[in-house]
Chain A
Amino acid sequence: MPYTMLIVDDSRVSRMMIRAFAIEQRPDWVYLEAASGLDAIEMAKNQKIDLISMDLNMPGIDGIEAGTTIKALQPDCFIALLTANVQNSTQERALNAGLHFIPKPIVADTLLKVFTIAGA
């Protein structure tokens, strides 16, 4: 079974960039996209997901909230929170929710970091 990665970001270009960099490094994976936290949760109800790249700031529920809900549905899913926010309070919230903090911007290295930490 190939790995499945879900890319959650309200910006279409961000999703395209993450996907492009991910495909470069993991060409045989299956990639899914969601434009909001709620869409991501719906997808996680219906299929097994191995890895998620989750944006923090999105309209509706934010990445930490969505990540928390998905963690409850799929405890084995690795969730990387991509954000340009280094405030202590945010880092703490992410950590408590079991999410892994990855600093933005999105460049090839960002995805390499995600794969390395996820061990995937």
Chain B
Amino acid sequence: MMSNHAPLLLFSTFDALELGVLILNSKGEIALWNRWLVKASSRHSDDLIGLPLSVAFPELKNTRVEQAVKLAIEKDQSSFLSQCLNRAPFNLFRLHNNDEVPLRMQQQIQITPLRQFNDEQFCLIQIQDVTASVIREQILQERAAELHRFAYQDGLTGIPNRRYYEEKLAEEWRRAVRQKHPLSVLMIDIDFFKRYNDHLGHQQGDTCLQDIAKALQAALRRPTDIIARYGGEEFIVLLPATPMAGCITIAEQLLEAVRELERPHPDSPHHIATVSIGCASTTPNRDTEASVLIQEADLALYFAKQHGRNQLRDSQS
């Protein structure tokens, strides 16, 4: 299997490898390293032969590389160092890099014992460039985060959508049962929105929806309060740990926030765009259901409209 050229051939193969190879003797001194590593570290190949690893590469002091070398030489154990948990232990830079600024190489490292070689225990360090994988995963992560955001966001208004609200309602309901806290909801509807659209067109209608959504969202000050677009011109607000009194105060602030927009409405008795709000509150227990709370808020909203709109009604009145 071995020809006469084998030793030479092995040596040129060693230097042609597309990964970094470093061999340490039993004292942890550099016995051999390949051209790939010479280039990536911008050092001269002869400078480092015979030097202890941490002298040749001072950046490795107190890293897992140092521990792993010890494990390989003293305990015959192999170690794997991932890029995620060890940020670029060696000071290496990308070889084929078109950018002007040298790019630090992300590394995956394997450290294994080389057993009974000349009766001495050597240690083999292999370094792979995983920079491309890191960049690829960053892109993947950003995409996934974006998709996730879109899945829970209303496309027109940019506030959370009904799907988000449904999940939050289930979550907050469980929490309220556990902590025996009250939970309130507000059902909000834009008054005479169809007439608004008929008079000013759908584009104006969309802007109106966007502005009101923004105003409502801005008027909610607590980070735990959740607003979502429920459908057409309807919004829903979830108020954790809030009793009816607090819920009414917040509803009043929301009514006022929309009035303050002073958006002209050509076909409303109030002459500006307004909303009606139905309030409902309960302290849930294991025997009650969230859908009842929503029905109550819906009914209260119906009464608010019956009584002339631009106002709130609560489910207890």
Question: Quick check: do A and B touch in the complex, using CB within 8 A?
Answer: no
Binding site for B on A (CB under 8 A): none
